[in-house]
Structure 1
Amino acid sequence: MKHNSAHLGSQKHTSRVFRRRTAAGGATGVVFLAAALLLQQVPAFAATPVNLGTATSYSVLAGTTVTNTGPTTLQRDLGVSPGTTITGFPPGNSAGATHAADAVAQQAQSDVTIAYNNAAGQPLTTSVTGDLVGRTLTEGVYGSTSSLGLSGQLTLDGQGNPNSVFVFQAASTLITASASSIILTNSAQACNVFWQVGSSATLGTASSFKGTILALTSITVETGATVEGRALARNGQVSLDTNVFTSPSCATTTATATTTATATETAAATTSATTTPSPSPTATDTTTPRANETESTPSASAVPLADTGGLGRNKGTNIDTAVSPSNGGLAVFGAIAAALAVTTAIVFAVRPVAGRRRSSQE
Structure 2
Amino acid sequence: MKIKNLFTTFAMAMVVLFTACSSDDETQTSPAPSVVLTNPTNSESNVARNKVITVNFSQAMEASTINASTFTVKQGTVSVVGAISYSGTTATFIPVTSLAAQTQYTVTLSTGVKNLEGKALATQMQWNFTTSANAAGLSAVALGAAGNYVILAKTAINNVPTSAITGNLGLSPAATSYITGFSLTDFTGYATSAQITGKVYAADMVSPTSSHLTTAVDNMITAYNNAAGRLTPDHLELGAGNIGGTTLNAGLYKWSGTVTIPTNVTLTGTADDVWIFQIAGDLNMSAATNLTLQGGAKASNVFWQVAGETTIGTSSHFEGVILSMTGITFQSGATFNGRALAQTAVILDGNTVVQPQ
Given the two structures, how large is their TM-score scaled by the length of structure 1?
A: 0.57
Q: What is the alpha-carbon distance in structure 2 between the residues aligned to residue 54 and residue 119 of structure 1?
A: 16
Equivalent residue for 2:212, pick from 104, 125, 134: 104
Where 2:150 maps in the other structure, the secondary structure is strand
Give 1:103's aligned amino acid. S
Aligned residues: 217
CA contact (8 A) 1:69 1:92 kept: no
CA contact (8 A) 1:74 1:94 kept: yes
How far is the alpha carbon of 1:204 from its aligned partner?
0.5
The match for 2:352 is 244
CA contact (8 A) 1:71 1:92 kept: no
1:86 lines up with 2:179 in the alignment: yes
Q: What is the alpha-carbon distance in structure 2 between the residues aligned to residue 70 and residue 190 of structure 1?
A: 25
The match for 2:197 is 95
The correspondence of residues 231-310 of structure 1 with structure 2, limited to 5 A, is: 231-234=340-343, 236-249=344-357
1:167 lines up with 2:260 in the alignment: no
The match for 1:151 is 262
Give 1:55's aligned amino acid. A
Structure 2 residue runs without a partner (length 5+): 1-33, 51-135, 184-192, 204-209
Post-superposition CA distance 1:246-298 (Å, at most 9, x none): 1211xxxxxxxxxxxxxxxxxxxxxxxxxxxxxxxxxxxxxxxxxxxxxxxxx
Give 2:156's aligned amino acid. T
Equivalent residue for 1:212, pick from 321, 327, 350: 321
How far is the alpha carbon of 1:118 from its aligned partner?
1.1
Moved over 3 A (4+): 32-36, 40-43
CA contact (8 A) 1:68 1:92 kept: no
Q: What is the alpha-carbon distance in structure 2 between the residues aligned to residue 35 and residue 50 of structure 1?
A: 30
The match for 1:70 is 161
Give 1:71's aligned amino acid. T
Identify if the C-alpha distance between structure 1 residues 104 and 164 changes in structure 2 by more than 3 Å, giving closer, same or farther.
Answer: same
Identify if the C-alpha distance between structure 1 residues 97 and 228 changes in structure 2 by more than 3 Å, giving closer, same or farther.
Answer: same
Identity of aligned residues (%): 36
The correspondence of residues 341-352 of structure 1 with structure 2, limited to 5 A, is: none
The correspondence of residues 105-144 of structure 1 with structure 2, limited to 5 A, is: 105-123=213-231, 124-127=233-236, 128=238, 129-144=240-255
Where 1:104 maps in the other structure, the secondary structure is helix
Identify if the C-alpha distance between structure 1 residues 86 and 47 changes in structure 2 by more than 3 Å, giving closer, same or farther.
Answer: same
CA contact (8 A) 1:132 1:154 kept: yes
Post-superposition CA distance 1:200-225 (Å, at most 9, x none): 11110000000010000111111100
The correspondence of residues 23-62 of structure 1 with structure 2, limited to 5 A, is: 32-33=36-37, 37=41, 41-44=47-50, 45-62=136-153
The correspondence of residues 179-218 of structure 1 with structure 2, limited to 5 A, is: 179-218=288-327
1:221 lines up with 2:312 in the alignment: no
CA contact (8 A) 1:178 1:206 kept: yes
Post-superposition CA distance 1:173-219 (Å, at most 9, x none): 00101011111111111111110000211110000000010000111
The match for 2:109 is none
Identify if the C-alpha distance between structure 1 residues 35 and 191 changes in structure 2 by more than 3 Å, giving closer, same or farther.
Answer: closer
CA contact (8 A) 2:283 2:310 kept: yes
Q: Which has the higher contact order (CA 8 A, sep 6+)?
A: 1
Give 2:158's aligned amino acid. T
How far is the alpha carbon of 1:121 from its aligned partner?
1.2
Identify if the C-alpha distance between structure 1 residues 33 and 77 changes in structure 2 by more than 3 Å, giving closer, same or farther.
Answer: same
Give 2:199's aligned amino acid. A
